[in-house]
């Protein structure tokens, strides 16, 4: 299936455009921009709305809303006198659960929440009520983790893309966020609203100029600077741009349009549309590391626990680069299996037969090798456990088969490769007898000089489907 992101939007979080657009012309223009975005989303044929909201902070990793029909009446903590916001949303709980699992596969801490009365945040409520008023498009909402930095936020997006691709969805990504977020700290007459300071206004316009040129990744890379310049500290960092850029493949050649930019009690509120269509401008430079799996960038205050729980000793830091498995005809790819080390799918179906690419023991997400790698980063041989490696190979095979709609009992033929027949055959053979041996496929075992990663065993499988 070929899922993809069909559009992205930046929208403000304050309730004014929803509750009182008539009280100030700027708030009215933001409302009109929301309406325009709503129509564009509808016309795009999107079948999923994904909201990343800065007004939903979380501490234990990221939280994903998974109540299929959350209902409540929200009142803003500051602007309670503007009125109440009744809501009843259509949440895609299945997608939420799949995203949560994809997060875990990529080493992230995350969980779903599905509780009656859960307080959905103001940014999400405003966005969903205005962009999807009849609930025609199922939605998911993800929190902003207050401790998350760039890697974690980037990997969160990649996990989301895993699920979009796998489920063939046409998704729209929305970040609910302010530009400059400094409000007036006193009560003002609506007609007096303006951006809090000239400096904030100038920065906002610069950021919007970048977005209008489709330079989303440039904005993402400036996140920390923007946060320092025009954001109240300890309000969620300007991190939604990390997420949104990663959702768009970290590109700088999107087609951008600013639908509105106005003041909301002094803060900068903008509705921006980012179309994935390339402007043909050419993608500009890309400075920061690309991150596929989350292995931590925080817990800096807890070094002891960090090293005790680290999987570092299991994880080869060198070795071949990992690839996104290609989506060729008949290809079967699984997020639950380790990434390939070249441009090939996990499996390919021909008629009722399924041919698997060679499967090793690497763990999906963390890339760790159960039983340990066979050599260290300098290439020196180290002690490893062949039985643990073999077991992990069998588990990866089971995952890929399951993804393809097959199963272990349908395996026809296996070719096994060992890098050290003398040392490992007995252990390998023992695990075989406990697992695959039960299902009775034919088997050929070969000794070879090396495998592309520091592993000792790999299997090539043909199964019926």
Partner 1 sequence: MAKGSIVAGCLAPHPPHLVYAENPPQNEPTSEGGWEQLRWGYERLRESLSKIDHDVLVLLSPHWQTYVGTHFLGIPHFEGLSVDPVFPNLFRYTYDMNIDVELSQAIHDKAKGSGLAVKMMENPDFRVDYGTITTGHMVNPAFDKPLVVISSNRSTHYYSVEVMQEMMMELGRVTREAIEESGKKAVILASNSLSHRHFTTESEVPEDMSKEHIASHAMHLWDMRIIDYMRTGQAQRILDEMPEFTEQAIAESDGGGLTWLLSTLSVPDYPAILHGYGTIIGTGNAIVEWPCYANEGDVQ
Binding site for partner 1 (CB under 8 A): 56-61, 73-75, 77-81, 83-84, 109, 113, 115-119, 121, 145, 147, 182-187, 232-235, 265, 298-299, 301-302
Q: Which is nearer to partner 1, 144 or 357 (CB)?
A: 144
Task: Give the residue from 353, 411, 420, 365 showing the smallest Cα distance to 390.
Answer: 420
Name the minimum Å distance from CB 240 to partner 1: 18
DSSP category for residue 232: -
The least CB distance from residue 302 to partner 1, in Å, is 7
Q: Min. distance of Cβ 81 from partner 1 in angstroms?
A: 7
Q: Which tokens belong to 111?
A: 């969980």
The crossing angle, in degrees rounded to 10, of helices 198-212 and 223-230 is 160
Q: Which is nearer to partner 1, 184 or 344 (CB)?
A: 184
Tokens describing residue 199: 């400096």
Decide whether 79 or 355 has the Cβ nearer to partner 1: 79
For 237-281, the DSSP string reads -STHHHHHHHHTTS-S--EEEEEEEEEETTEEEEEEEEESS--SS
Return d(Cα 27, Cα 71) in angstroms, integer: 26
Distance, CA of 1 to CA of 341 (rounded, Å) = 22
Of the pair 122, 455, the CB lying nearest partner 1 is at: 122
DSSP-assigned letters across all residues of 120-138: --HHHHHHHHHHSTT--S-
CB of 176 to partner 1, least distance (A): 15
Task: Select 97 or 430, whichever has its Cβ closest to partner 1.
Answer: 97
Dihedral over alpha carbons 212, 218, 221, 222 (to 10 degrees): -60
Which element (helix H / strand E) includes 444? strand 442-447
**By C-beta, is 49 or 74 nearer to partner 1?**
74
**What's the distance, Cα to Cα, between the start and end of the chain in Å?**
18
Least distance in Å: CB of 177 to partner 1?
15
Q: Looking at beta carbons only, is 113 or 414 nearer to partner 1?
A: 113
- Burial group, residue 152, by CB count within 10 angstroms (0-12, 13-18, 19+): buried
Tokens of 106: 């990529």
CB of 365 vs partner 1, minimal distance in Å: 16
Structure tokens at 33: 């921009």
Is 152:108 a contact under the CB 8 Å cutoff?
yes
Q: Which is nearer to partner 1, 128 or 211 (CB)?
A: 128
Alpha carbon distances (Å) from 22 to 32, 192, 298: 11, 14, 45
Beta-sheet strands, E only, within 16-94: 48-58, 62-65, 71-74, 85-88
User: From the CB of 159, what's the least distance to partner 1, in Å?
Assistant: 17
Nearer to partner 1, 117 or 351 (CB): 117
Minimum distance, C-beta of residue 275 to partner 1, in the bound complex (Å): 33
State the minimum distance, in angstroms, from the CB of residue 399 to partner 1: 24
CB of 306 to partner 1, least distance (A): 11
* CA 239 to mean position of chain CA atoms: 13
Nearer to partner 1, 159 or 356 (CB): 159
Place of tokens 């209008």: 212
Which CB sits closer to partner 1, 306 or 402? 306
Q: What secondary structure letter does DSSP report for 359?
A: B
Place of tokens 């409540």: 72
What's the Cα-to-Cα distance from 169 to each of 50, 147, 292, rounded to whole Å? 11, 30, 21
User: In angstroms, what is the minimal distance from the CB of 109 to partner 1?
Assistant: 6
| Two tokens, residue 52 | 């990343």
């Amino acid at each position: 299936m070929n899922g993809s992101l069909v559009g992205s939007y930046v929208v403000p979080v304050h309730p004014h455009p929803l509750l009182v657009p008539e009280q100030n012309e700027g708030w009215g223009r933001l409302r009109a921009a929301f309406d325009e975005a709503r129509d564009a989303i509808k016309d795009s044929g999107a079948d999923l709305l994904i909201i990343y909201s800065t007004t939903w902070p979380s501490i234990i990793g990221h939280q994903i809303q998974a109540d299929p029909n959350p209902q409540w009446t929200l009142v803003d903590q500051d602007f309670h006198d503007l009125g109440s916001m009744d809501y009843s949303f259509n949440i895609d709980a299945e997608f939420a659960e799949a995203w949560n699992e994809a997060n875990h596969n990529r080493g992230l801490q995350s969980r779903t929440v599905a509780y009656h009365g859960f307080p959905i945040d103001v940014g999400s409520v405003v966005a969903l009520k205005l962009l999807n008023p009849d609930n025609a498009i199922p939605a998911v909402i993800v929190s902003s983790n207050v401790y998350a930095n760039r890697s974690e936020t980037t990997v969160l997006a990649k996990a989301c893309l895993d699920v979009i691709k796998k489920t063939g969805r046409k998704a729209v990504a929305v970040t609910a966020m302010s530009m400059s977020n400094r409000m007036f700290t006193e009560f003002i007459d609506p007609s007096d609203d303006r951006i809090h300071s000239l400096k904030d206004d100038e920065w906002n316009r610069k950021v919007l100029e970048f977005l209008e040129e489709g330079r989303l990744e440039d904005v993402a890379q400036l996140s920390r600077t923007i946060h320092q310049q025009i954001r109240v500290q300890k309000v969620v960092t300007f991190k939604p741009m990390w997420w949104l850029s990663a959702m768009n493949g970290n590109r700088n050649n999107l087609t951008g349009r600013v639908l509105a930019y106005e003041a909301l009690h002094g803060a900068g509120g903008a509705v921006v549309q980012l179309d994935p269509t390339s402007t043909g401008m050419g993608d500009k430079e890309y400075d920061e590391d690309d991150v596929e799996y989350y292995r931590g960038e925080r817990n800096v205050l807890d070094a002891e626990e960090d090293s005790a729980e680290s999987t570092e000793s299991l994880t080869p830091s060198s070795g071949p680069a990992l690839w996104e498995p290609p989506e060729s005809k008949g290809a079967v790819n699984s997020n639950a299996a380790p990434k390939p080390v070249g441009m090939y799918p996990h499996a390919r179906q021909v008629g009722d037969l399924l041919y698997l690419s060679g499967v090793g023991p690497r763990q999906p997400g963390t890339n760790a090798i159960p039983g340990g790698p066979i050599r260290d980063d300098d290439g020196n041989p180290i002690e490893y456990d062949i039985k643990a490696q073999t077991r992990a190979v069998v588990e990866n095979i089971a995952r890929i088969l399951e993804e393809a709609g097959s199963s272990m009992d349908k395996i026809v033929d296996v070719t096994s490769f060992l890098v050290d027949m003398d040392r490992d055959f007995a252990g390998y053979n023992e695990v075989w007898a406990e697992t695959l041996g039960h299902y009775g496929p034919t088997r050929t075992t070969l000794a070879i000089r090396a495998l592309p990663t520091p592993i000792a065993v790999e299997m090539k499988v043909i199964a019926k489907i």
